């Protein structure tokens, strides 16, 4: 009777907490480079939740140490989305408050956060987003391109033909186009752009919010020759 009574109590408690939105998945944006780019509310919630789901525990530990946060970290990344995602949902349903962070920026944008958020929505769990940095927003604003209507493409396909075809499709859209790129591929992508839209003024933003932040604007050819002379380093956002 005691056990049944306890289980019943727990069930009712969780139901009430869920109903009052007191059990939550807190999706928390974290810095994209400069550790100071985090909100007071984000720090407060990271301190108060039961656990923090992150992509790389070693990476997120640097941020937690900076702010004296000792909440346990649990890895949730590309290769364990199914198993770990299920465990995280079970923990949420069992009444735990969980924070979801990614390696950089806002979870859910090109990281496994998307799957967890979707699964939590399907389960009717309460959630909120504590806002903060998104790399493409910094790049868009700093590019000086029209920001009232734009297309964000994430990453282009890695293979040359598919990448060039996709760029060709995107260029037909008469809006600002933004995508993420790695330093290893930026020159090849600029070559594609030189071929597809030689006259366009584009912007390459790299190392945003970091010490060597740079936003370089010019034609694809001018940018290509710059990066051929100064080997590209860091993470890129391209704005067309």
Interface with ligand SAM (CB under 6 A): 32-33, 102, 104-106, 109-111, 134-136, 180-182, 205-210, 235-237
Instruction: For residue 19, give every residue at least 6 positions away whose Cβ sits within 8 Å of its Cβ, in sequence order, or none.
Output: none
Rounded Cα gap, residues 72 and 74, in angstroms: 7
- Residue listed under structure tokens 């909100």: 39
- C-beta closer to ligand SAM: residue 192 or 235: 235
Least gap, CB of 48 to ligand SAM (angstroms): 23
Strand partners, 52: 73, 99
Q: Which two tokens stand for residue 32?
A: 């994209």
Q: Which two tokens stand for residue 72?
A: 């346990």
- C-beta closer to ligand SAM: residue 78 or 229: 78
Least gap, CB of 209 to ligand SAM (angstroms): 6
E strands of 35-102, at which residues?
A: 51-54, 73-75, 98-100
- C-beta closer to ligand SAM: residue 102 or 176: 102
Least gap, CB of 9 to ligand SAM (angstroms): 40
Strand partners, 178: 152, 239
Least gap, CB of 12 to ligand SAM (angstroms): 38
Least gap, CB of 92 to ligand SAM (angstroms): 21
Least gap, CB of 42 to ligand SAM (angstroms): 14
In this chain, which residue has its C-beta nearest to ligand SAM? 105
Least gap, CB of 27 to ligand SAM (angstroms): 11
- C-beta closer to ligand SAM: residue 23 or 133: 133
Rounded Cα gap, residues 127 and 148, in angstroms: 28
Instruction: For residue 145, give every residue at least 6 positions away whose Cβ sits within 8 Å of its Cβ, in sequence order, or none.
Output: 176, 203, 239, 240
- C-beta closer to ligand SAM: residue 85 or 133: 133
Rounded Cα gap, residues 229 and 207, in angstroms: 18
Strand partners, 215: 205
- C-beta closer to ligand SAM: residue 18 or 53: 53
- C-beta closer to ligand SAM: residue 150 or 236: 236
Residues in the chain, total: 240
Rounded Cα gap, residues 237 and 183, in angstroms: 10
């Amino acid at each position: 009777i005691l056990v049944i009574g306890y289980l019943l109590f727990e069930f009712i408690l969780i139901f009430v907490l869920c109903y009052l939105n007191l059990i939550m998945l807190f999706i928390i944006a974290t810095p994209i480079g400069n550790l100071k780019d985090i909100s007071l509310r984000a720090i407060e919630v990271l301190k108060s939740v039961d656990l923090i789901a992150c992509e790389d525990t070693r990476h997120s530990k640097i941020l937690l140490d900076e702010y004296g946060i000792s909440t346990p970290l649990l890895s949730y990344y590309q290769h364990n989305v199914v198993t770990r995602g299920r465990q995280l949902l079970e923990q949420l349903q069992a009444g735990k408050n969980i924070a979801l962070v990614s390696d950089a920026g806002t979870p859910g944008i090109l990281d496994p956060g998307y799957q967890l958020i979707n699964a939590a929505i399907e389960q009717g769990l309460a959630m909120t987003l504590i806002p903060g940095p998104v790399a493409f927003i910094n790049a868009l604003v700093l590019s000086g391109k029209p920001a009232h209507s734009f297309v964000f493409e994430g990453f282009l396909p890695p293979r040359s033909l598919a990448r060039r075809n996709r760029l060709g499709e995107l260029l037909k859209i008469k809006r600002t186009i933004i995508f993420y790129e790695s330093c290893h591929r930026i020159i090849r992508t600029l070559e594609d752009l030189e071929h597809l839209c030689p006259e366009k003024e584009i912007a390459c933003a790299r190392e945003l919010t970091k010490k060597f932040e740079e936003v370089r604007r010019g034609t694809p050819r001018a940018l290509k020759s710059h990066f051929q002379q100064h080997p590209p380093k860091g993470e890129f956002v391209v704005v067309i």
